[in-house]
Amino acid sequence: MTDDVRTQIEAGIGRITLTRPRALHSLTTAMCEAINEALLAWRDNDTVRAVAIDHEDGTRGFCAGGDVAMVRRSALEDGGEAGRAFFFHEYRMNHLLFTYPKPTVAFMDGVTMGGGVGLSQPCDFRVATQNTMFAMPEGSIGLFPDVGAGHYLPRLPGETGKFLALTAARLDGAECLWAGLATHYLAQDGVAEAKRRMMSGEEIDAVLGDLAIVAPEPRIAGNAESIDKLFAPAELEAIIDALAGDSADWAAKELKAVQAKCPMTGKVALRQFAQNAQCTDFAANMAMEYRVASRMMMRHDFAEGVRAVLIDKDNAPAWKPDRPEDISATMLDDIFAPLGQGEEWTPFG
């Protein structure tokens, strides 16, 4: 279906390898469809005992996100039809991995952002290295933390999830291990060895347990107390006030980060976290996120954010509204409202 992903079975391991290096293996609709096809075929194949997700050797990765440039074009040119199709297939992939009946492992060896988070976080084993760079940077482009982030981020220690959503902070491999975003930390040369042993028939948990090393001291741990205190409020304005009222240099830096992001993204993320508590399962969360994605991709902020970050690269987006206090509860209600008949997201059966 596409040359940007390779699927094969090696020694009972269904292996999914991302092969789109020029875009840091960012996901396209065709890539999501190819991954889904493989996962569905392997689900009931008794010769496949586990699934491994990685990126092509010798390239940067793991996965930098999704094809937001295409989604932007779709929003501007075809009423969002192609963009919604992308999110529909991507979220089905996220849910399929989350509910997969066989062990799954993702090698987060490199940039792991957006769509890469959606690929890795549902997996039973999530391997970080010194090359891991994890982030949910959607606030910079006027989207929102999706691909299941409404489920994962609120479950991180303390207020770490809010911190990541509102600042787009980048975590290294050790920090991912500390936060529970990774299950194992391997040295760089241990990744190839882990794959070799897995593909030779050894069990994933035994291989990773044998090769895991002690991670460096996570930098984020030193700021955990401040994160839990300053990001505790439920409202974006209150978090901004808390940061502004703190005299520490760290608070000033994070205040600048929060205020640079799309105000609507911040508001939506906090509503998303609160609403996830009412979701009965992961499918319900993904249905909620699909509603939000279908609306957020059509807003001015998304087109403007992608323009500022990826097209013109002036990093000077003009958000509308540009202040959190100008975003009403009604505006958020409209973004989270159910879609029309036949338009809702559904998982695979």
pLDDT at 343: 98
What span, in angstroms and rounded, lies between the C-alpha atoms of 290 and 157? Answer: 26
Q: What percent of the chain has pLDDT over 90?
A: 97
- For the structural domain made of 5-336, what CATH number should be given? 3.90.226.10
pLDDT, tens only, 320-340: 999 999 999 999 999 999 999
What span, in angstroms and rounded, lies between the C-alpha atoms of 233 and 228? Answer: 10
pLDDT at 291: 98
Task: Calculate mean pLDDT across residues 280-300.
Answer: 98
pLDDT at 305: 98
What span, in angstroms and rounded, lies between the C-alpha atoms of 126 and 117? Answer: 10
pLDDT at 47: 97
Residues paired with residue 27 on neighbouring β-strands, in sequence order: 66
Question: Which residues are catalytic, by number?
Answer: 66, 115, 138, 146
Q: Answer yes or no: is pLDDT of 1 > 90.
A: no
pLDDT at 349: 87
pLDDT at 341: 94
pLDDT tier for residue 222 given thresholds of 50, 70 and 90: very high
Q: Answer yes or no: is pLDDT of 58 > 90.
A: no
Strand spans (E) along the chain: 5-10, 13-18, 50-55, 62-63, 104-108, 111-113, 125-128, 133-135, 184-185
Q: Answer yes or no: is pLDDT of 243 > 80.
A: yes
Instruction: Return the structure tokens found at 208.
Output: 């990773």
Q: What percent of the chain has pLDDT over 70?
A: 100
- Domain ranges for the chain: 5-336
Instruction: Return the structure tokens found at 209.
Output: 């347990």
